[in-house]
Amino acid sequence: MSRPRLDNKTARRLFLDRHLLLAPGTGSGRSEDLEHVLGQLGFVQVDSVNTLARAHDLILWSRRGRYRPSALERLVAKRRSAFEHWTHDAAVIPMKFYPMWRLKFERDEARMQARWPACRREGWRDELDTVLSHVAERGPTSSLDVGAGEAKGSSGWWDWHPSKTALEFLWRSGRLAICHRQGFRKQYDLAERVIPPEYLNARRSDGEIVDWAMSAALDRLGFGTSGEIAAFFEIVRRDEAKAWCTAALEEGHLIEVDVEMADGRTRRVFSSEAALEGLRDLPQPSSRIRILSPFDPALRDRARAEGLFGFHYRIEIFVPEAKRRYGYYVFPVMQGDRLIGRLDARRDGSCIAVRAFWPETGIALGKTREQGIMAELRRLSQLVGADDLRLEPGWLRPAPS
């Protein structure tokens, strides 16, 4: 039998539907509705950059226009229905997934033990017991509360003092958990004082965790290679992912599918009968223009975004300004099932200042589309608490040749 084939438009729609970006999101964006969104996405990346809105807030707002940052804070700090840890990066994750993270705790600890001596300041191992005792005795603790007398770093983001490194090690290995944040600063406490007992005490075998992580990732992607599926949660090793896909294919749990890329080429990937059967029920794309986070889960795999959408996207943080094609931190702009451009905008006091919009090649920026961008910016003003919108001279740029 020939392999099923998904044309590019159908593949994009399946992928965006799994990422909650195809149809309009009409929920409240808080409490149970926000828990549902977080569960559907699998996680939401946390990032400190706040030129317009923090990554996690913009990701959730793009799915639920009524979302506000305090709602996610409540899930973590009050409801305890989500926790902070790592996937490919720092993330907020549904609490019901916590038992599956035990394998990640073990593997992260082994990696840190092997790698951190070469890239972290000396002395952090000697501080582990001291820091753990401090947290046990005093409760919620930040990096400012430990390491008295230790020289603070001055040579980059990761130049932590030894006690800060010890805090992070204890968190990444599962002995501490983030109980809340003050501003954006993490507050750590003993895991048993943060994680509800039904999740803290639950145990799964390594095989059960691998099976869950691969199945849950595929459900949220719709299709992917074994490496892409493993990279979703970053729990499963690549060799384990290949073995899992081989076995699942032989058992009929997976099927191979040819997916058309934006340039007409095809890629062979794994999917499921359920995903293909659901194609007929996919909603039509929303006409809304959406401003997305640079770390949106639909775009975080830059190679996949380029293949599927023809959207070449990089954050040019370390590129000298004179050599940048765009601003260093620009926001992808989506309409329907297409990425139509990128926006350079900043929060400037009580105003959103729009510096530039670059349409993608082949995208005409007519009056209706320009009005759609303005409407989205006005919606975004409610999230970031801006009262005004300022368009800087020459903000509409030509499409790249």
pLDDT tens, residue by residue, 15-25: 999 999 998 88
Q: Buried b / exposed e across 358-373, counting CB within 10 Å, b at 16+?
A: bbbeebebeeebeebb
pLDDT in tens, 296-350: 999 999 999 999 999 999 887 777 777 778 878 899 999 999 999 999 999 999 9
Total-model pTM: 0.94
pLDDT of 153 > 70? The answer is no
Q: Which residue has the higher pLDDT, 24 or 360?
A: 360
- Mean pLDDT over 224-245 rounds to 98
Helix (H) or strand (E) holding 5: strand 5-6
Rounded to whole angstroms, the Cα distance separating 113 from 208 reads 25
pLDDT in tens, 192-220: 999 999 999 999 999 999 999 999 999 99
Domain boundaries 289-391, corresponding CATH code: 3.40.630
Q: Is the dihedral of CA 188, 192, 198, 202 positive or negative?
A: positive
158 confidence band (pLDDT: 50, 70, 90): low
Q: Which residue has the higher pLDDT, 318 or 142?
A: 142
Could you tell me the residue ranges of all domains in the chain?
289-391
Mean pLDDT (the chain, rounded):
94
Helix (H) or strand (E) holding 6: strand 5-6
Q: Which residue has the higher pLDDT, 158 or 327?
A: 327
Which residues are within 8 A (CB) of 207 and not within 5 positions of it... i.e. 6 or more apart?
none
Confidence (pLDDT) at 183:
87
